Structure 1
Amino acid sequence: MRRTLISLCTALTLALTGAVAAGPAQAAARAPSPGTPTPVTAANLVTPLSVAAGRGSSVLFTQNFAGLLDRTDANGNVSTVYRTSTPGAEVGAVSYRYGVTVFAENTGAGSENPAITTGLIKAILPGGRVVTLADVATHEEQTNPDGNVRYGFRDLPASCLAQVPAEVPASYTGHVDSHAYATEPTLNGVYVADAGGNDIVVVNPWTHSVRTVAVLPPSVTHVTAQAAQATGLPACTVGHDYYFEPVPTDVRKGWDGWLYVSTLPGGPEDPSLGARGAVYRVNPRTGATQLVASGLASPTGLAFSPRGDLYVAELFGNRVSVITRGSHTARPFLSVPLPADVSVKGCTLYVTTNALPGDNTPPAGQVVKVTLAGERRGAVGPNQDAD
């Protein structure tokens, strides 16, 4: 039941219930207060799924399905930084650090056909030259890091598996697929959230090699009698767990040196199953993975503030939430329509909104910004680049 945002509009709805409960709060909750969102761009962007604060007052953002990487200046003027020359290619996963802009150019995501799938991680150097660092889809094809992970039902007898409707993958191992969805440049390499491969990989920009850091844990849903009856699942599945694929959508280096990763449940990403998204922290050296917070509504973007608070774009939750430093609970912070990504610079939070167009309506995507209370203006966050 592979699900990436490239195939969002064709989600298979499997109405199971029983999301993992959110972890308890562990720190005294500070309450950052949002300001009023103000526009950074006009409200006409095509699928702005990725945003990054750039040099000075500039803001970088992608129009994924239009194949564009754009930038605004301090006056709000928009210019195109990169335009794909490959028909049908998606441009996304933008990040900025050390004067270098990093992004991904994908083809064939979700097709599970290695012959047409590419995941090129590219960089725009300070002089403007565009270079390709690696193809993470090739790494996926050669290694298939989650190839030994069992998804679907793990403990059903053969007689019960045979009764599961054909449209529901009853039991299978990870397929070869790649969708480079987010990048995070660090001094140790460029970390990539591969939403198709269900993993985090790191690209060495000097040797162009790719290494698997961690495969994210499956999203586990418990089948109830009510859910089985509503979806046509056989009664023999009641009481069993279904292991959905994880779909990592962002990766950010935190104040503690660990990687923080947002994941969608690998089934439908709409609210039909409830809020089942999560944030994990991953040790970049060992790959050890720990749950930070769960119960999130389609988390697709992360950003740390200078003091270590983690802002989360919850796409179908129509909000940005905040996990204060040391906490395991996400609290609503800002109500905005369909936010896909967030980025912080100093005391300013940038958000892409209306990231997915409605049926038969023109694109209305936009980048907005709000002021964060209590942050020091001009401060540099856990892994942000100073001007």
Structure 2
Amino acid sequence: MRRTMTILATTLALALAGGATAAPAQASTRHPAPGSPTPVTAANLLTPLSVATGRGSSVLFSQNFSGTLSRTDARGTVRTVYQSRTPGAEVGAVSYRFGTTFFAENTGAGPDPAPNTGLIRSISGDGKVRTLADVAVHEARRNPDGNVRYGFRDVSASCRAQLPAAVPGAYRGEVDSHPYATEPVGDEVFVADAGGNDIVAVNRWTHRVRTVAVLPPSVTRVTAAIAAGIGLPACTIGHDYYFEPVPTGVKRGWDGWLYVSTLPGGPEGPALGARGVVYRVNPWNGRVQRFAAGLLSPTGLAFSPRGDLYVAELFAGRVSVIPRGSHTARPYASVPLPADVAVKGGTLYVSTNALPAEGAPPAGQLVSFRLGRDRDGHDQDGQVGPNQDAD
């Protein structure tokens, strides 16, 4: 199991055991509670972890663990756009712009013994597939977070020796690449690398890869309750643990900055709380700012035409919205296991039931919601925002 998926699977086990519960969706005057979702595809998709709107009425979505990239039209007809020929490869991180589809094909992340590759690819309008870069090569050469210290920074060696085997005591960023989301802007495709804990950019023409920003660790102060909840020794109480950030989504905002969703690098449940964060990242100088916090497993982002940010909170069982001008997420819609979101005009698309329960058949689905009116009484399909094509 890939590193990011291991984190998600751990949290899923907590959720199924009752450890993570979803808050009910609540209405607000600006974002009235939506109606029932409209199915876009049949409920038999395997791990639809990535969604993007394409040309016209088409919607692109991945089925990561089957190595498949698909497209559905207004009638719900599903066609395969790309099928990996590499055994065990994961296909995801789909995005669309300039009449071109972008995606990632990944192998060997985390404990997977296969060679680590992170191919960023494009599909032109005539169906030609091109490889833009292998971000795993950049990760192996540069290891951008190699100087970041994770784990405990100030506990004794004897205390670290008492930690459970699953909790590393102290270490620096390791070489690992798992491209999880892409966002094409201008000449570059920005990539959220969930293995590298960073944002990198791939030039579409020169194929050069550059590090945009290394994301800050997720810091948790160990309390007596946390120590008891996850089996830490008493000597860790009062000390900070520096978890790896795990970027899962990247979108360009109305202000030109990148907005990045991150998992907190450890289990999310009552013991540690909702620790997911959305950061703002300056794409020109790499400056990082915390934008919103207190999210439960945020795994996908989408801006509406008017700049409201929708967030898929996978194990909260909801899509939330951060209104433009706010830093606080509000529940928007309750849906089971939403992995990603995409917006075109006045329609919000959500992939649901993204991770099947152990032993259960795939039940993933793509659904849509009609976005309501904004605070000025206008429909949200009144204009095209910076993350959408007008075609």
TM-score by length of 2: 0.91
Q: Do the aligned partners of 2:187 and 2:204 also contact (CA within 8 Å) in 1?
A: no
1:384 corresponds in structure 2 to 388
Q: Describe the shift of the 1:62–1:278 C-alpha distance in structure 2 as closer, same or farther (beyond 3 A).
A: same
Q: Do the aligned partners of 2:260 and 2:279 also contact (CA within 8 Å) in 1?
A: yes
1:18 corresponds in structure 2 to none
Structure 1 residue ranges, 4+ long, deviating more than 6 angstroms after superposition: 11-14
User: Which of structures 1 and 2 has the larger relative contact order (alpha carbons within 8 angstroms, sep 6+)?
Assistant: 1
SS at match of 2:315: coil
SS at match of 1:138: helix
Question: How far has the Cα of 1:10 moved from its partner?
Answer: 5.2
Aligned partners of 1:271, 1:201: CA distance in 2, in Å?
Answer: 33
Q: Do the aligned partners of 2:249 and 2:260 also contact (CA within 8 Å) in 1?
A: yes
1:287 corresponds in structure 2 to 286
Question: How far has the Cα of 1:360 moved from its partner?
Answer: 1.6
AA aligned opposite 1:60? L
Aligned length: 372
Give CA-to-partner distance per residue, 1:272-309, whole Å, 9 cap, x none: 53211010000001111111111101000000000000
Q: Do the aligned partners of 2:202 and 2:209 also contact (CA within 8 Å) in 1?
A: yes
1:17 corresponds in structure 2 to none
Question: How far has the Cα of 1:6 moved from its partner?
Answer: 5.5
Aligned partners of 1:160, 1:6: CA distance in 2, in Å?
Answer: 26
2:179 corresponds in structure 1 to 180
SS at match of 1:46: coil
2:364 corresponds in structure 1 to 365
Q: Describe the shift of the 1:372–1:363 C-alpha distance in structure 2 as closer, same or farther (beyond 3 A).
A: same
Q: Do the aligned partners of 1:100 and 1:123 also contact (CA within 8 Å) in 2?
A: yes
Q: Describe the shift of the 1:10–1:32 C-alpha distance in structure 2 as closer, same or farther (beyond 3 A).
A: closer
Question: How far has the Cα of 1:376 moved from its partner?
Answer: 3.9
Q: Do the aligned partners of 1:355 and 1:366 also contact (CA within 8 Å) in 2?
A: yes
Structure 2 residue ranges without an equivalent (≥5) = 15-27, 374-378
Q: Do the aligned partners of 2:11 and 2:315 also contact (CA within 8 Å) in 1?
A: no
Correspondences of 1:256-267 after superposition (within 5 Å): 256-267=255-266
AA aligned opposite 1:351? V
2:155 corresponds in structure 1 to 156
AA aligned opposite 1:61? F
Question: How far has the Cα of 1:363 moved from its partner?
Answer: 0.5
1:302 corresponds in structure 2 to 301
Structure 1 residue ranges without an equivalent (≥5) = 15-27
Give CA-to-partner distance per residue, 1:306-327, whole Å, 9 cap, x none: 0000000000000000000011
Q: Do the aligned partners of 1:3 and 1:268 also contact (CA within 8 Å) in 2?
A: no
Correspondences of 1:1-387 after superposition (within 5 Å): 3-5=3-5, 8-9=8-9, 30-111=30-111, 116-269=115-268, 273-374=272-373, 375-377=379-381, 379-387=383-391
Q: CA-atom RMSD, angstroms?
A: 2.0
Aligned partners of 2:167, 2:328: CA distance in 1, in Å?
Answer: 32
Q: Do the aligned partners of 1:312 and 1:342 also contact (CA within 8 Å) in 2?
A: yes
Give CA-to-partner distance per residue, 1:14-38, whole Å, 9 cap, x none: 9xxxxxxxxxxxxx98335423210
Q: Do the aligned partners of 1:103 and 1:123 also contact (CA within 8 Å) in 2?
A: yes
Aligned partners of 1:239, 1:272: CA distance in 2, in Å?
Answer: 15
SS at match of 2:316: coil
Question: How far has the Cα of 1:13 moved from its partner?
Answer: 9.1
Aligned partners of 1:378, 1:58: CA distance in 2, in Å?
Answer: 19
SS at match of 1:284: coil
Counting aligned pairs with the same residue, the percent is 72
Aligned partners of 2:380, 2:229: CA distance in 1, in Å?
Answer: 51
Q: Do the aligned partners of 2:61 and 2:70 also contact (CA within 8 Å) in 1?
A: yes
AA aligned opposite 1:79? R
1:25 corresponds in structure 2 to none
Q: Do the aligned partners of 1:303 and 1:310 also contact (CA within 8 Å) in 2?
A: yes
Question: How far has the Cα of 1:156 moved from its partner?
Answer: 1.2
SS at match of 1:273: coil
Aligned partners of 1:169, 1:280: CA distance in 2, in Å?
Answer: 25
Aligned partners of 1:268, 1:211: CA distance in 2, in Å?
Answer: 30
Aligned partners of 2:321, 2:206: CA distance in 1, in Å?
Answer: 37
Aligned partners of 1:281, 1:31: CA distance in 2, in Å?
Answer: 23
Give CA-to-partner distance per residue, 1:191-217, whole Å, 9 cap, x none: 000000000000001111100000111
AA aligned opposite 1:335? S
TM-score by length of 1: 0.92
